[in-house]
Amino acid sequence: MDEGFKNLIRSSRNYKEEKEQKYKVNSKDRLFKIASKKIKTTMIGALSTLEENLGFLWGHESDEDISPEQQHMKTIFEQVRSDILVKPVEEPDKEENDG
């Protein structure tokens, strides 16, 4: 009976450790997703502000034809916007952070 009790205690400890480990992993993943979403939202807001305040450089919201210089500025802005929005936020390497 004494051996059975020790096995029960050991099993209970193992269960608690596994549960705590899963909680840590899930918490880290959840935090990463929340932070990523907030960063993306911030970037979109920043791009919107740039477009509102500097859009005149590329004829933003203008009905007139744009000059070659404005077309060049528009191309640059669209490339920058695309780079910012398309590049994914990379998840940290799990092996580095498991320590």
19-67: pLDDT as tens digits: 999 999 999 999 999 998 999 899 999 999 999 999 999 988 888 899 9
Specify the pTM.
0.62
Q: What is the pLDDT of residue 93?
A: 58
Hey, where are the domains in the chain? Answer: 2-92
Q: What is the H or E stretch that residue 64 is in?
A: none
> Which amino acid makes up residue 52?
E
pLDDT of residue 79: 94
56-98: pLDDT as tens digits:
999 888 888 999 999 999 999 999 999 888 876 665 555 455 5
**CB of 93 closer than 8 Å to CB of 78:** no
